[in-house]
């Protein structure tokens, strides 16, 4: 039995007291008559349930009235009155107590719902803390190259982190602007608040105002409920506007108001909502050129360009590549659920450091993942994945670039290895050994993809 409140003539208090009941008291509780909602117990010591409660609270009860609170034939709780000394409760009091049934049932139901919401809110807050921790573990806490190629970037980030000034991150696609934004937020005084990421280029123009600023119920066709926008969700925290150069001019006007006054209005609403947030923007485009061409508002450019940070491309910080390689291998081992960490073939580091990396850190991450998919047991060979200097930077073997479908990619690679072994699957020099997989598992995949081997193999 859980007691959620107790009151006497001196005071009332909320409780969350779980009271273990002996078997005889449980039996009485289970056998409450279904046709009676109010009970008078004139001798509480003679009834196990009332006797146990009296003992628990050290009461001198001379009589007890139980008001059973039912909702749709389900008992949601009890309201219990104890008399102390003389005179005792009489049967004439039952009608008076029963008149409290409706308000007490509502109060009990609301209390139970509030307790449930509070519990769920606590669970959600705990999950949120865990997810923030995972974000920091995966990207925010460990900035690869912070002491080498990104040293200048991290020094600037450290200077501005404790302030609320807007930050503009500049750099090519794939250099890790999101990682630096994450690091700035979690190094700031807002680290316990939300960190909301928005890819401005991924939201359709027709939906961008609704996504950023929210809308009221009935504001337009399909607006069935009120919706908070991304800015409102970032209150007391940081909003990261990635690809800010893709923002339409109409949305740029409303963003300028947020920067100037830190307030918004939902679509279809007339209420001004004050916000306390920090804005970090990022782009790989030349905003100054866009301003000259009329594609980006000059006043917004001046507002955002308070503290620009240029993040260098990977080809300008090649000394970070060995650490990045090891970081991505460890990360992909967890993501791909591999049993051990594969090693790279000798000479891989030199090959990786000699490549120009047009896709920067993101390209390196993708190539590491591709190599681990193709050779999960290792060793990891990047020679077929990275163009040589004699090839154009975009040129890859046909069977790698012919499809983006992972299943087709795996099928193509198995075919290529089986062709190399002339249909041999098992044993030394067989396809299973080269791929680092169990021969039976490989045969199952070959059947799945319709790849012939052994006596059925034809070159």
CATH of the domain at 249: 3.40.50.300
Instruction: Determine, yes or no, domain membership for 188.
Output: yes
Q: Quick one: 161 and 59 in the same domain? A: no
Q: Quick one: 156 and 264 in the same domain? A: yes
Q: Quick one: 184 and 223 in the same domain? A: yes
Answer for the pair 362, 423: CB distance below 8 angstroms, yes or no: no
User: Which pLDDT belongs to residue 129?
Assistant: 65
Instruction: Determine, yes or no, domain membership for 137.
Output: no
Answer for the pair 8, 18: CB distance below 8 angstroms, yes or no: no
Q: Count of alpha carbons within 13 Å of 4, Cβ hemisphere only?
A: 14
Q: Quick one: 147 and 48 in the same domain? A: no
Report the candidate in 413, 422, 403 with the shortest Cα–Cα distance to residue 442. 413
Quote the CA–CA distance of 355 and 365 in Å, as a whole number: 14
Report the candidate in 349, 422, 429, 432 with the shortest Cα–Cα distance to residue 383. 349
Q: Quick one: 331 and 411 in the same domain? A: no
Quote the CA–CA distance of 328 and 340 in Å, as a whole number: 14
Q: Quick one: 276 and 331 in the same domain? A: no
Q: Is 419 left (phi over 0), alpha (psi -120 to 50) or beta?
A: alpha
Instruction: Determine, yes or no, domain membership for 130.
Output: no
Which of 393, 422, 441 represents a domain boundary (last residue)?
Answer: 393
DSSP assignment letter at 67: E
- Supply 267's token pair: 């679509």
Instruction: Determine, yes or no, domain membership for 126.
Output: no
What are the residue ranges in the chain where pLDDT is below 50?
140, 390-396
Instruction: Determine, yes or no, domain membership for 165.
Output: yes
Quote the CA–CA distance of 228 and 267 in Å, as a whole number: 10
3-state secondary structure of 280: strand
Q: How many domains does the chain have?
A: 4
End-to-end CA distance of the chain: 76
Instruction: Determine, yes or no, domain membership for 129.
Output: no
Which of 312, 343, 359 represents a domain boundary (last residue)?
Answer: 312
Q: Quick one: 164 and 294 in the same domain? A: yes
Report the candidate in 409, 408, 403, 432 with the shortest Cα–Cα distance to residue 420. 432
Quote the CA–CA distance of 412 and 375 in Å, as a whole number: 13
User: Which pLDDT belongs to residue 454?
Assistant: 64
Report the candidate in 126, 128, 176 with the shortest Cα–Cα distance to residue 153. 176
Instruction: Determine, yes or no, domain membership for 121.
Output: no
Answer for the pair 413, 399: CB distance below 8 angstroms, yes or no: yes
Q: Quick one: 281 and 335 in the same domain? A: no
User: Which pLDDT belongs to residue 130?
Assistant: 63
Q: Quick one: 211 and 85 in the same domain? A: no
C-beta neighbour count of 209 within 10 angstroms: 19
Report the candidate in 175, 421, 422 with the shortest Cα–Cα distance to residue 282. 175
Strand intervals (E) in 211-306: 238-242, 263-264, 273-274, 278-283
Quote the CA–CA distance of 415 and 32 in Å, as a whole number: 73
User: Which pLDDT belongs to residue 13?
Assistant: 87
Q: Which helix (H) or strand (E) holds 195?
A: strand 195-199
Report the candidate in 219, 212, 215, 254 with the shortest Cα–Cα distance to residue 233. 212
CATH of the domain at 418: 1.10.10
Report the candidate in 173, 450, 184 with the shortest Cα–Cα distance to residue 314. 173
C-beta neighbour count of 135 within 10 angstroms: 16
Q: Which domain holds residue 411?
A: 397-459
Which of 268, 286, 312 represents a domain boundary (last residue)?
Answer: 312
Report the candidate in 156, 177, 361 with the shortest Cα–Cα distance to residue 283. 177
pTM above 0.75, yes or no: no
Q: Which helix (H) or strand (E) holds 403?
A: none
Q: Quick one: 301 and 408 in the same domain? A: no
- Supply 388's token pair: 């040589």
Q: Quick one: 364 and 408 in the same domain? A: no
CA distances 211 to 196, 237, 251, Å, are: 12, 17, 11
CA distances 36 to 96, 102, 386, 428, Å, are: 15, 15, 81, 82
Count Cβ neighbours within 10 Å for each residue of 292-323 and write b for 16 or more, e otherwise: eeeebbeebbebbeebebebbbbeebeebbeb
Quote the CA–CA distance of 227 and 215 in Å, as a whole number: 5
Return all residues near 222 (Cβ < 8 A) that are at least 6 apart. Answer: none
Answer for the pair 336, 380: CB distance below 8 angstroms, yes or no: no
Instruction: Determine, yes or no, domain membership for 367.
Output: yes
Answer for the pair 144, 320: CB distance below 8 angstroms, yes or no: yes
Q: Quick one: 238 and 335 in the same domain? A: no
């Amino acid at each position: 039995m859980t007691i959620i409140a107790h009151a006497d003539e001196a005071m009332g208090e909320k409780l969350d007291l779980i009271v273990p009941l002996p078997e005889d008291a449980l039996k009485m509780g289970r056998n409450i008559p279904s046709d009676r909602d109010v009970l008078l117990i004139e001798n509480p010591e003679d009834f196990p349930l009332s006797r146990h409660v009296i003992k628990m609270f050290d009461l001198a009860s001379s009589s007890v009235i139980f008001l059973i609170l039912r909702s749709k034939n389900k008992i949601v709780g009890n309201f219990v009155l104890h008399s102390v000394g003389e005179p005792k409760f009489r049967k004439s009091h039952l009608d008076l107590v029963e008149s409290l049934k409706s308000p007490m049932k509502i109060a009990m139901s609301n209390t139970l719902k509030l307790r449930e919401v509070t519990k769920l809110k606590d669970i959600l807050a705990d999950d949120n803390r865990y997810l923030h921790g995972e974000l920091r573990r995966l990207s925010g806490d460990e900035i690869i190259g912070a002491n080498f190629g990104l040293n200048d970037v991290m020094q600037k980030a450290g200077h501005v982190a404790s302030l609320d000034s807007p930050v503009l991150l500049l750099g090519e696609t794939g250099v890790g602007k999101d990682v630096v934004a994450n690091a700035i937020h979690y190094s700031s005084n807002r680290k316990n608040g939300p960190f909301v990421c928005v890819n401005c280029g991924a939201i359709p123009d027709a939906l961008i105002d609704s996504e950023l600023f929210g809308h009221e119920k009935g504001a337009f066709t399909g607006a069935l409920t009120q919706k908070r926008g991304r800015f409102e969700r970032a209150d007391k925290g940081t909003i990261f506007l990635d690809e800010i150069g893709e923002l339409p001019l109409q949305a740029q006007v409303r963003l300028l108001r947020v920067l100037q006054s830190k307030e918004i209005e939902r679509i279809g609403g007339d209420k001004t909502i004050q916000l306390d947030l920090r804005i970090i923007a990022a782009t790989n485009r030349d905003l100054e050129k866009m301003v000259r061409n009329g594609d980006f508002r000059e006043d917004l450019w001046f507002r955002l360009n308070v503290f620009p940070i240029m993040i260098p491309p990977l080809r300008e910080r090649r000394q970070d590549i060995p650490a990045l390689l090891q970081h991505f291998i460890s990360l992909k081992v967890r993501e791909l659920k591999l049993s051990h960490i594969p090693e790279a073939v000798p000479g891989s580091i030199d090959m990786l450091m000699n490549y120009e990396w047009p896709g920067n850190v993101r390209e390196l991450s993708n190539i590491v993942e591709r190599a681990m998919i193709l050779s999960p047991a290792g060793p990891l060979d990047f020679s077929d994945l990275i163009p040589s200097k004699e090839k154009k930077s975009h040129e890859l073997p046909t069977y790698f670039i012919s499809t983006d479908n992972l299943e087709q990619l795996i099928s193509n690679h198995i075919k290529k290895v089986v062709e190399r072994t002339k249909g041999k699957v098992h044993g030394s020099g067989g396809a299973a050994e080269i791929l680092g997989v169990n021969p039976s598992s490989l045969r199952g995949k070959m059947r799945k993809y319709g790849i012939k081997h052994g006596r059925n193999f034809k070159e």
